[in-house]
Amino acid sequence: MKLTRSYIRTIAKRDPRIEEIEICPDHQVTVWLDPKWTWNALDGNITCMTYNVEHSDDWCRDDVATFLGDVKNIELAK
């Protein structure tokens, strides 16, 4: 299933680790974490990720499974 802004909003409302979502130009959404969390602690403290959503080219649009996998792997910042 392809990722949409509304799906990201739904997950963000349920997950207190997500601090803010920013609707960006070019059919993208940036998801910001509370600074005490990171998307990937192994690569440093990454507090934001940008996803391609509806109206972007189909070949570069992110899917729900990718987003949920990223959310599942949120860790405490080191």
Burial grade of 5 (CB within 10 A; 0-12, 13-18, 19 or more) = middle
3-47 confidence digits (pLDDT tens): 999 999 999 999 999 999 999 988 999 999 999 999 986 677 889
pLDDT at residue 60, as a whole number: 84
Nearest to 18 by CA among 63, 70, 56: 70
Please report, for residues 43, 57, 67, the alpha-carbon distance to residue 64 in angstroms, rounded to integers and kept in the order given.
Answer: 23, 16, 5
For the entire predicted model, the pTM comes to 0.89
62-75 confidence digits (pLDDT tens): 999 999 999 999 99
